[in-house]
Structure 1
Amino acid sequence: MPVDPHLRELLLQLAAAPQPTDLTQMRAMVEANARRAPTRPVPVAAVRDLTVDGSDGPLPARLYRPDTPGTPPLTVFFHGGGFIAYSIDTHDALCRELCAASGGAVLSVAYRLAPEHPFPAGVNDAFASLRWAAAHAAELQVDARRLAVAGDSAGASLAIACALRARDEGGPALRAQLLIYPPVDAVTPHVHESRVSNGDGYFLTRERMAEMGRLYLADAAHAAHPHVSPLHADLRGLPPALVLTAEFDPLRDEGAAFAQALSTAGVRADHRPGPGMIHGFANMTAFSPPAAQLVDDAGAWLGEQLRT
């Protein structure tokens, strides 16, 4: 099907907008755009900012509590942005939506960004924050026995790395992983046809991905690390996963391949393609009803995995 007409209009606006000339300007631009972008009015019971322990110091975080009785489960969420940009502020609306749709609490955690802090700093921060959340469940007033990880794009990569490390390093036990258009293959990206067919004109470009990769991986040999390219990792024993992809996303094919690889490894995995969607649709729900429905369905899936 063609690009969702609501997102096509947004693509035209993005193409006509001034483009940043350096990383500092790009970071400032995405933060400013997030502050003035329209959002869906999704109610949650409470939101509070806090800090959590990262692998090398405190990290900003934001806790969203659902309007449901009892002690809720918890999803630890990591924002996207190519490992080099974005923040808990840019993903505030998405976390509110996941909190409301799942009926569970969401803890959105920042992590150190490249190139100032290349791999594995982000992975180390993400896993440290996951362990902190599990250890401080009573303080957060959440149920640590019902714990999940989630993220979009680069954040989905970090969520997968957390699931791998939790399996390999003694927990915490995870019930689910929600992975929104994850990048999972820095070893053989050329084999994924969507990297070519969707590599230009759909918000995330092939050129931008290459630059993000260079900034994130200070050592090119790290491309083969399982926490960077989990498509080539041992995936046995991971928690159930929902993988969302977008029809016009360069990462579409590797996301689908990852869902298949999880299934082959004996992991319960659900792949839901996003017809007419582009990369970033989870942050565009105020513009696109189909995008909003995909996010709501993903939140409902989280709720199902964490209900008992």
Structure 2
Amino acid sequence: MTDYRKLIDAETWAFIEKTNSYYPPDTIDYTIGEQRAIYDRMCREFFAGYPQGVTAETTAIATPTNSIPIRIYRNAEPDKAAMVLYVHGGGFILGGLDSHDDVCAELCARTGYEVVSVDYRLAPEHLHPAAFDDVMSAFEWATSTYDCPVLLCGDSAGGNLCAAVAHATRGHVKKPVGQVLIYPSLGGDRSRGSYVTHAEAPMLTVRDIEFYLNIRTGGVDRTGDITLSPLADANFAYLPPTVLITAQCDPLSSDGEAYRDRVVAAGGSAYWFEEPGLVHGYLRARHTVGRARSSFTCIVEAVSTLGKGDRTW
């Protein structure tokens, strides 16, 4: 049994307790509607506002089959070296433009890049590959709309979708300049590594992960589908430079390590950083927990550097 009292510091425990007061650990036992209401309220409680100089415009991308809401963040002093396509987390069933609103605004402020947040369709109303299709459409829109390179960035479920798009577009003329994946769910081996060591971690458990996967697929076995599980890909060559940042106290940590190893073995550029003592969802702790604040700075630097085409970050 992992002793989290030794791994997690007081600041992080305070964050966990605050989160649990709004989003109890048994929330997955509620209805989907109740889960969304609880999650949305929690996100509002952690909302940190916009940095000075950042503005946002909410609009939509029209596709042949649906309309994808997006929010575009702009800096008063823009850096046009790249733009960031941000894909939010939430287990593929939660979240939207508001859940990660301040994160995207701060990413825009600190990098200078224009950031576009994607409100992809959620399960169970829209089963896989709906979310993947929406993020692919958003990426294609971005590459045809912007004159600069497009960088992918996402957390948790959003990290999964970013990686899936990176795999799907690596042969395209216009492909991502890089990807920054924050505690991503990549479809790793749940019988080993952090899936075992941190199966009952605060903030996210293996039971939660299995629940989200089942909801996303409608219970259908999609083994080997790389648009669902990027780690199932047999070929990791020609992927964009990748930075993976994971939390030590998170069953998904091993996915970051495994993905890094596969990219490097295929001759690509990938860096994996595991944040000691942090937990899944720590982006919301970036203003109250020292470790999370430092990690967010690391994320900002990765986005800024990869956006400029530097592979040696």
Question: TM above 0.5, one fold?
Answer: yes
For 1:123-134, list aligned pairs within 5 A. Answer: 123-134=132-143
Q: Is the 8 A contact 1:55 1:124 kept in 2?
A: no
Judged with a 3 Å threshold, the aligned counterparts in structure 2 of structure 1 residues 23 and 149 are, in CA distance, closer, same or farther, namely same
Q: Aligned-pair distance for 1:70? A: 5.9
Confirm or deny: 8 A CA contact 2:182 2:246 kept in the other structure: yes
SS at match of 2:222: helix
Superposed displacement of residue 86, structure 1: 1.0
Alignment partner for residue 51 of structure 1, among 40, 50, 60?
A: 60
Of 250-259 and 67-76, the range deviating more from structure 2: 67-76
> What residue is the counterpart of 2:241 in the other structure?
240
Q: What SS class does the counterpart of residue 185 from structure 1 fall into?
A: coil
Deviation at 1:16, TM superposition (A): 4.9
Alpha-carbon deviation of 1:69? Answer: 4.5
Contact 1:44 1:96 in 2 (8 A): no
Residue 42 in structure 1 maps to residue 51 in structure 2: yes
Deviation per CA, 1:91-134: give whole Å up to 9, x if none: 01211222222221110001111111111111011000111122
Give matches, 1:1-308, under 5 Å. Answer: 2-16=7-21, 20=27, 21-39=30-48, 42-54=51-63, 56-69=65-78, 71-137=80-146, 143-144=147-148, 146-168=149-171, 170-185=172-187, 188-191=189-192, 193-218=193-218, 220-233=220-233, 234-307=235-308
Deviation at 1:36, TM superposition (A): 2.4
Alignment partners' CA distance in 1, 2:52 and 2:292? 18
Partner amino acid, structure 1, of 2:254 = D
Kindly indicate whether the alpha-carbon contact (under 8 Å) linking 2:85 and 2:151 is maintained by their aligned counterparts in 1: yes
The amino acid of 1:151's aligned partner reads G
Q: 73-82 vs 16-25, which deviates more?
A: 16-25
SS of the residue corresponding to residue 82 of structure 1 reads: coil
Alpha-carbon distance in 1 for matches of 2:283, 2:21: 22
Following superposition, the deviation at residue 171 of structure 1 comes to 4.4
**Paired residue secondary structure (1:99):** helix
CA contact (8 A) 1:202 1:248 kept: yes
Q: Compute the displacement of 1:136 (Å).
A: 1.9
Query: Would you say the 8 A contact 1:97–1:299 is kept in 2?
Result: no
Change (3 A) 1:259 1:44: farther
- Any unmatched runs of 5+ in structure 1? 138-142
Q: Please state how far the C-alpha of 1:223 moved relative to its aligned partner.
A: 3.1
Instruction: Verify the 8 A CA contact 2:182 2:244 in the aligned structure 1.
Output: yes
- What does the per-residue CA deviation read over 1:73-95, in whole Å, with 9 as the maximum and x for residues that have no partner? 21101101111111121101211
State the one-letter code of the partner of 1:174: P
What is the identity, as a one-letter code, of the residue corresponding to 1:149? L
Q: In the superposition, relative to structure 1, how do residues 55 and 256 fare at CA in structure 2: closer, same or farther (>3 Å)?
A: farther
- TM-score, normalised by the number of residues in structure 1: 0.90
When the two structures are superposed, what TM-score results if normalisation uses the length of structure 2? 0.89
**Matches of 2:117 and 2:79 in 1, distance apart?**
21
Tell me whether 113-122 or 17-26 shows the greater mean CA deviation.
17-26
What corresponds to 1:140 in structure 2?
A: none
RMSD: 2.0
CA distance in 2 between partners of 1:245 and 1:236 (Å): 22
Q: Relative contact order: is structure 1 or structure 2 higher (C-alpha 8 Å, sep ≥ 6)?
A: 1
Distance 2:19 2:111 in 1: 31
Distance 2:277 2:308 in 1: 31
Q: List alignment gaps of at least 5 residues for structure 2.
A: 1-5
How far apart, CA to CA, are the structure 1 residues paired with 2:53 and 2:162?
A: 23
> Quick one: distance in 2 between partners of 1:263 and 1:81?
28
What's the CA shift for 1:38?
4.6
Deviations 1:51-84 (A, max 9, x none): 1135631111111112325635211011011111
- The answer on whether the counterparts of 2:164 and 2:229 sit within 8 Å (CA) in structure 1 is no
